[in-house]
């Protein structure tokens, strides 16, 4: 067996590296369609094609200790709370059982501090680990780059220190978490990290079953962005909303239409 010995991407110490995943390994198994017949693999959308694939996006990047750090501080908990193939969705059930702060036909907003308390830190840590991974390393599916974003040198190092437990969550970063109010779409297993610009702020985002994470980075955090954040200065909130209103999924539909479907997707 080949040994990969180099500096770990997170702690920077020379270590034996593990085959690290951009998105958690457990999500691939969880996203497999038990009713998919001969091809239960999740749908993967890239810029050039739409396929069903068992291939996982991974690379030798982190040491065993840092992999365990990611799992213990957020990954294991958050993956257990998201939508599952058996129809269960623990986080959504928790929100629906609580009174919303704001209730409109388009969305509901919940103060999650009474519901989640210190578990809020797991969501912040999990999201930070994915966004940092996407920025700190070049990931590929086959020969095609996927999930590549740039946090910039300053934020990338701030997030690295936060993930190591040496610094607080970056003060000019706000994380929004949108929870699906709908039954899960068969096509939306996961969406790799990507970036758009909203006014003066950069918005990075990724999706796992039922949960959309949006990271806003700005030198001047607006009141609107702060008020809607899981790490807001006054309240800690999550949003329950339909995906039909989300720009990420409208954009993904365009990718699907312009890409080359393969396998069972042609039917």
Mean pLDDT, the chain cut into blocks of 10 residues (267 residues total): 86 97 85 55 55 74 98 96 88 96 93 96 98 96 87 96 98 95 64 84 89 92 93 96 70 47 46
pLDDT of residue 191: 84
Phi-psi region at 236: left, alpha or beta (left = phi > 0; alpha = psi -120 to 50): beta
Q: Token match 């720009």: residue?
A: 247
- 111 vs 215: CA distance, rounded Å: 18
pLDDT of residue 45: 56
The domain limits of the chain are 5-266
pLDDT of residue 266: 47
pLDDT of residue 147: 87
Sequence-distant (6+) residues with CB within 8 A of 47 are 144, 255, 259
pLDDT of residue 259: 44
Could you count the other beta carbons within 10 Å of the beta carbon of residue 183?
10
Question: What pTM did the predictor assign?
Answer: 0.87
């Amino acid at each position: 067996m080949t040994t990969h010995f180099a500096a770990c991407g997170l702690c920077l110490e020379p270590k034996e590296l593990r085959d690290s995943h951009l998105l958690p390994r457990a999500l691939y198994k969880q996203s497999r369609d038990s009713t998919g017949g001969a091809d239960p693999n999740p749908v993967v959308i890239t810029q050039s094609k739409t396929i069903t694939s068992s291939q996982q996006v991974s690379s030798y990047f982190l040491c065993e200790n840092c992999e365990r750090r990611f799992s213990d501080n957020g990954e294991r908990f958050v993956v257990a709370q998201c939508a599952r193939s058996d129809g269960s969705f623990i986080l959504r059930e928790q929100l629906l059982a609580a009174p919303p702060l704001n209730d409109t036909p388009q969305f509901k907003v919940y103060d999650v501090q009474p519901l989640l308390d210190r578990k809020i830190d797991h969501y912040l840590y999990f999201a930070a680990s994915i966004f940092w991974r996407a920025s700190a390393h070049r990931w590929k599916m086959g020969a095609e780059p996927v999930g590549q974003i740039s946090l910039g040198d300053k934020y990338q190092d701030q997030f690295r220190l936060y993930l190591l437990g040496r610094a607080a969550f970056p003060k000019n970063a706000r994380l929004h978490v949108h929870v699906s109010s709908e039954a899960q779409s068969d096509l939306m297993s996961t969406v790799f990290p990507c970036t758009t610009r909203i006014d003066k702020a950069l918005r990075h985002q990724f999706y796992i079953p039922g949960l959309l994470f949006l990271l806003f980075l700005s030198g001047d955090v607006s009141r609107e962005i702060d008020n809607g954040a899981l790490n807001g200065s006054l309240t800690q909130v999550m949003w329950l909303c339909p995906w039909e209103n989300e720009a990420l999924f409208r954009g993904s539909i365009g990718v699907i239409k312009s890409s080359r479907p393969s396998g069972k997707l042609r039917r």
